[in-house]
Structure 1
Amino acid sequence: MELFLLFLFFLLMVFFCFFLYSFPLSFKLKEPISKLQLPPGKTGWPIVGETLEFAAMGRNGTPEKFFKDRMSKYSQEVFKTSLLCEQIAVFCGPAANKFVFSNENKLVALSWPSSAKKIFPSSNSSTKLRAVALTLLKPDNLHKYVAIVDSIAKSHLETQWNFQKEVNVLSLVRQFDFTAACRLFLSINDPHQIEDCAKPFEVMAAGIFTLPINLPGSSYNRGIKAANSVRQKLLGIIKQRKGEVMDKQLVHDEDLLSLFLTKPDENGKFMSEPEIADHLLAALLASQDSTTASITFTMKYLAEFPDIYDEVLKEQRSIAQEKIPGEPLNWKDLQKMRYAWNVVSEVLRLVPPVQGNFREVLTDFTYSTFFIPKGWKIYWTPNSTHKNPQYFSDPEKFDPSRFEGSGPMPHTFVPFGGGSRICPGKDFARVVILVFMYNVIGKFRWEKLLPDEKTVVLPIPLPAKGLPVVLHPH
């Protein structure tokens, strides 16, 4: 259906866009193109550019091939392309990563594709979200969250995993992650209310990085409708919490929603309810997709490498032996999970949950002799270094020992980005991942039901069938 809609869209638009496509920069640049050396590369088909090829490699589970092929073809670590209807310069390699991370709000600024704006109207206004997130995720709160997430994980495993012979890991981990995010961001505990938000949320997430074809039946159209549905549910929660704040009833001072309602910006202005809803959508999306993928693929690799599983189990049991029966995990326990985090780091290297991010060029600049015009988008990706043998020997091998000692060289391992825009939730993700792994490893071994299950990246990496496994309780 979607391919048919896309074909019709081409027929309608290709004639009108051909002239603009042929001269995409002639109206933007102050100098003739002949005097400027743009990065090498193609911009592909009118409108869609190289998006279809990029998506096809993701569906094949090899998103890094898109970048590797072009880096090899042009012998450069910067090239141009067109993705999601955007003119883009792709920056690859550690030097390029460092350049992008160190020039935030100088030459470039965080940006989403314009296609995302219909789903997240406030997608580019992330300063407030980042500031509040940093307040929420300060060390004292993170320490407190360990016990809360531990309680959520234990309850989830008790109700959803115990007494099951087979489970779909992706589905259940997604449920756990969304429950934890709703509890910590919104102080929602009602499972029915959580489930009511979770269903349209998945549809919304699937539509964000698809072609912006807003026709009935397309993923993009379904994503917009689902986002509106989740937004309305959030607005109801926001209004109720706002009333509690005004009536000085019990307020959850340290959840994300209460911080949005009670913390004005530097000019003393409070966010509107629709702005809060958009920012909550973004926070829920960021917290869920990355941790869901990380936990799911950690379980995949532990099933494939029983010797590594045994080492993690040994570490976890040594921590458990020091605790009083029934005592929840705490921050100090997580610091002892060094080998477990090396395992997770190797998963993040091989299957980075965030495939990259966009920046908007704020002013013309030159990088590596190439002219990068104002208004273009820059795209950086961990896929340009994570599987590059120049930085990681035998890069396809699963080897947690890479992260012992000083670990990888700077700007080569970037699952959370870097610089001033490094993901503010990286430490929160670590808490959620390690706490869940501690609990599930303490209860079960597991084996894959589909030994050759394919990985797809749409846009986050996922096992094609959700990683069905057989559980073996200890």
Structure 2
Amino acid sequence: MSIFNLLLIFLLPIFIILFLRERRGVSQKLPPGSLGIPIIGQSFSFLHALRKNTGDKWLQSRIQKYGAVSKLSLFGAPTVLLSGAAANKFIFTNDGVILANQQPHPIRRILGDKNLTELRGEDHKRVRGAIGMFLKPESLKKNVGKIDRVVRQHLDMNWKGHQTVKVSLNLTYYVEVVLLFLILRVYPMMKQLMFDIICSLLFGLEQGKDREMLIHDFHLFTQGLWSVPINLPFTRFSNGLKASRRIRRVVSELIHEKRSAMELGQASPQDDFPTILDNAIVVMFAGHETSTSLLTFLLWFLAKDPVAYDAIVHEHEEIAKTKVSGELLNWDDLAKMKHTWKAAMETMRIIPPVFGGFRKVLKDFEYGGYLIPKGWQVFWAASPTHMDDQIFIDQWKFNPARFDNQTSIPPYNFVPFGGGMRICPGNEFVRIESLVSIHYLITQFRWKLLDGEDVITRDPMPMPQQGLLVHLEPKIVP
């Protein structure tokens, strides 16, 4: 045997061991980035960026620096940011296998650990199915008329002539002109309307002290969801926990009354939602926060885009012509509101109500050549794909025509409601309450922005910092 062959036999195992060791080293490589200070990590800088409406830039700066996979720490836990359509697909299609829908510590403490976003396996299927019974199209069809009545009542009580402001202008020493403006702050009014709808459908809860208290506490509750989990007085996390406890007391009483009515045959189980406290609160929270954001910014965009506004006005006036005085909207009417829903989807593309979401890593896995360890959390965000100029050309321009052919948008690029088996179960409910609301807003009012450059903030839901002040002009409805 030649010396070469002897050397080959001797060295080959060494090469194999070195190769396997190198491969093992690559597979065990954590993503680039830093976990920062324990517990705090990058939470403060992330939340600060959201409140300054620079969350998109905050994400893009990380992606440009580290790539589509990077490590950081958010809300007290080591986290991996995965961005892009491929990452969205991976996250949405691996639930229960590699990933679980466990939320960060602040969300679990405030929402409760038995809510839908925490449940797994058969428990998740059972509760999601029960909530789906309440939110399925067959049930929602029966509730279109109820939503219609709530919207009309709210507009009559809060939008028609109750926000008039008298302004005196001294043009000269001798001449004074008095102007009457109908000034309205859209965001808080829209929030009240959406909360009225969800309270009426779930519990038949009429306006009063309980409802006023609940909407105030849900504001604190929401602020606490994305917060640094430091339970000290006056922190957002602490205020969120306190608000959650107060909400639970009120909702527990409402659930008890609902169950009693069902036992007496005064309420139908088919119209009921799961009477589990944590999930009742989740439905109340999600049922008004996302729609509030969507409708507020839809009005904002329409005020800036006369072409889109005129197309939607025409669509709703044509529907209104088919209705006799006082007749309620129905399911078929909603199906005709195609331009409106395209504008709504474009609104959610540019300003998604939910910035992103979290998953818990169930076991070690490799992604993009990096190790993602068991016990860490994965964070995904909507903006990296919503603002991808390869998919959405001129991405900052409001253009509802992008959704004329929705099949032209590649999968996992437009994800305002998430995706996969964890897609928001209330997305159809959001569509219905939004379409009914915009029908009466656009057929009964015209509006003009008083501050066209109203600053946007996220806290954590997006909202105009000044609440979107508009000059409202009631239309003369024949």
Residue 58 of structure 2: aligned partner:
66
Describe the SS at the equivalent of 1:79: strand
Whether 1:251 and 2:243 are equivalent positions in the alignment is: no
Of 105, 125, 150 in structure 1, the residue corresponding to residue 119 of structure 2 is 125
> Residue deviations 1:349-371, cap 9 Å, x none?
00000111111111111112221
Give yes or no for the alignment of 1:387 onto 2:387.
yes
Matched with 2:96 is 105
Q: Is the 8 A contact 2:51 2:458 kept in 1?
A: yes
Q: Residue 155 of structure 1 aligns to which amino acid in structure 2?
A: Q
Of 169-178 and 132-141, the range deviating more from structure 2: 132-141
The alignment status of 1:152 with 2:134, answered yes or no, reads no
Task: Give the match's secondary structure for 1:358.
Answer: strand
Give the Å deviation of 1:452: 1.6
Could you tell me how far apart the structure 2 residues matched to 1:199 and 1:58 are? 22
- In 2, Cα distance between equivalents of 1:216 and 1:192: 26
CA shift, 1:447, in A, is: 1.0
Q: TM-score normalised to the size of structure 2?
A: 0.86
Q: More displaced, 456-465 or 184-193? A: 184-193
2:232 to 209, 215, 227: 215
What displacement does 1:193 show? 3.1
Task: Give unmatched runs, 5+ long, in structure 1.
Answer: 1-30, 262-275
Amino acid aligned to 2:142: K
1:190 Cα deviation after fit: 4.2
Unaligned runs of 5+ in 2: 1-22, 164-181
Could you say if the C-alpha distance between residues 450 and 33 of structure 1 is closer, same or farther in structure 2, counting changes exceeding 3 Å?
farther
Aligned to 1:7: none
The answer to whether the 8 A contact 2:137-2:428 is kept is no
* 1:228-280 per-position Cα deviation (integer Å, ceiling 9, x unaligned): 0111111112222333334x24124344xx4434xxxxxxxxxxxxxx22221
Pairwise mapping of residues 292-311 of structure 1 onto structure 2 (< 5 A)?
A: 292-311=292-311
- Report the CA distance between 1:32 and its aligned residue: 9.6
The percent identity for this pair of structures is: 34
Moved over 4 A (4+): 31-35
What RMSD, in angstroms, separates the aligned Cα atoms of the two structures? 1.8
TM, length-normalised to structure 1? 0.86
Q: CA deviation at 1:46?
A: 2.6
Q: Given that residues 187 and 252 in structure 1 are in contact (C-alpha distance below 8 angstroms), is that contact kept between their aligned partners in structure 2?
A: no
Residue by residue, what CA displacement relative to the aligned partner does 1:188-242 show, whole Å, maximum 9, x if unpaired?
A: 2344432232221211111111111111111111111111011111111222233
Q: Which amino acid aligns with 2:456?
A: T
Counterpart contact for 2:106–2:224, Cα < 8 Å = no
Trace 1:195-210 onto structure 2 (pairs within 5 A).
Answer: 195-210=212-227
* Aligned pairs (5 A) from 1:210-359: 210-246=227-263, 248-255=264-271, 258-261=272-275, 276-359=276-359
Higher gyration radius (CA): 2
- 1:54: which partner in 2? 46
* Count of aligned pairs: 426
- 1:176 and 2:168 matched: no
Following the alignment from structure 2 to structure 1, what is the Cα–Cα distance between the partners of residues 308 and 208? Answer: 35
One-letter amino acid of the structure 1 residue matched with residue 36 of structure 2: G
Q: Contact 2:85/2:385 (CA < 8 Å) preserved in 1? A: yes
Query: Aligned equivalents of 1:47 and 1:138: distance in 2?
Result: 40
CA–CA distance in structure 1, aligned partners of residues 450 and 389 of structure 2: 31
Task: Kindly report which structure 2 residues correspond to 1:85-96, keeping only aligned pairs within 5 A, or say none.
Answer: 85-96=76-87
Aligned to 1:372: 372
CA distance in 1, matches of 2:127, 2:184: 35
SS at match of 2:326: coil
Q: Distance in 2 between matches of 1:400 and 1:422?
A: 23
